[in-house]
Amino acid sequence: MITLDGVRKEYENEVAVRTLSLQVPPQQTTVLIGPSGSGKSTLLRLMIGLITPDAGTVTVNGQPLSDANVQALRHRMGYVIQEGGLFPHLTGRDNAALMAHHFGWSQARIDARLNELTDLVQLNPDRLSQSPSELSGGQRQRVSLMRALLLDPDVLLLDEPLGALDPMVRADLQDDLRTIFRRLGKTVVFVTHDIGEAGFFGDHLVLLRDGAIEQQDPMPALVHDPASTFVTDFIDVQRAPLDHLGDENRE
């Protein structure tokens, strides 16, 4: 579905992605995980052609990405960023239906599609008439997901979509998102630095370090069969606070 072949990206002498190859398996959720600066967001933006690689090729649906086909391929991909990326001058409805307006859909078709999507993302349809600044963080991400899903794309790319939410809202949305991913059976690429979230969503985890792939495996393999001490450290660091609490309780 999405293949990166020998891809490399540098920013002003700083290497963001070292030469790497990666196959994103279709109809599964792949999680790109790693510390800040490990290159996970860069990989995601390479996949949708927001940046072009200095070397190597990105292939989507069997077509190498180029200036000529990038617009059309983007219509087959949905993209959601941390704060939702909703346009402040448009209501929730107009944000979600932006591409439908662009393609000149009839109002009836737009309304029908928005109804399906509000059901899917569990959003009260009344919220759609509000502007982004009037919505809560969770509601904004639900609208953003509607916008990404409007054209029924094959691929969903999500760049830390839950990163800015408070823990309760986040837990709610995690559940809903996983349900949606399972129900739709789309190819999903999900970027996060949270190992718990990665294990929760990911069929397949890709752990990145300094622009290179450290290990790619399902969660249990990362824990029980780590490729390096970095993998173990990365997992343990995020588990430590709770373990420490556990130790106290034991005493």
Partner 1 sequence: MNTPSILDPRFSILIVLALLTAPAQGQDKDSTLTIGSKKFTENVLLGWMGTHLLQAQSIPATHREELGGSRFLWEALVRGDIDAYPEYTGTLRLEILADRSIPPHPDSFRAALAEIGVGMTAPIGFNNTYALGMRADHADSLDIETIRDLRAHPDLRLGFSNEFMDRADGWPSLKRTYNLSHTARGVDHDLAYRGLATGQLDVIDLYATDAEIKRYDLRVLRDTKQYFPTYKAVFLYRRDLQTRVPGAISTLRRLEDRIPADTMQVLNARAKIDQTDGSQVAARFVNRTFGLATTADPDTRWERLRRYTADHLVLVGLSLGLAILLGIPLGIVAAKRRFLGPTILTVIGVIYTIPALALLAMMVPPLGLGRVPAVTALVLYSLLPIVWTTYTGLKDLSPPLLESADALGLPAGAKLWRIELPMAARSILGGLKIAVVINIGAATLGALIGAGGYGQPILTGIRRANLGLILEGTVPAGVLTLLALSLLEGLERALLPRSMQS
In the complex, the residues that contact partner 1 under the rule CB under 8 A are 45, 48, 50, 70-75, 77, 79, 81-83, 85-91, 98-99, 101-102, 104, 131-134, 147, 157
Shortest CB 235 distance to partner 1, Å = 30
Tell me whether residue 87 or residue 218 sits nearer to partner 1 (CB atom). 87
Cβ atoms of 214 and 22 within 8 Å: the answer is no
Tell me whether residue 36 or residue 133 sits nearer to partner 1 (CB atom). 133
Shortest CB 135 distance to partner 1, Å = 10
Tell me whether residue 91 or residue 216 sits nearer to partner 1 (CB atom). 91
Both tokens of 29, joined, read: 């959720």
Tell me whether residue 79 or residue 201 sits nearer to partner 1 (CB atom). 79
Distance CA 244, CA 249 (A): 9
Cβ atoms of 164 and 86 within 8 Å: the answer is no
Tell me whether residue 22 or residue 96 sits nearer to partner 1 (CB atom). 96
- Name the DSSP letter for residue 203: S
Shortest CB 168 distance to partner 1, Å = 25
Burial class (CB within 10 angstroms; exposed 0-12, middle 13-18, buried 19+) of 141: buried
Shortest CB 185 distance to partner 1, Å = 22
* Residue 5: strand, helix, or coil: strand
Name the helix (H) or strand (E) containing 111: helix 107-121
Tell me whether residue 82 or residue 118 sits nearer to partner 1 (CB atom). 82
Name the region of 192 (left: φ>0; alpha: ψ -120 to 50; beta: rest): beta
∠ CA 75-81-83, rounded to 5°: 135
Shortest CB 89 distance to partner 1, Å = 4
Shortest CB 58 distance to partner 1, Å = 14
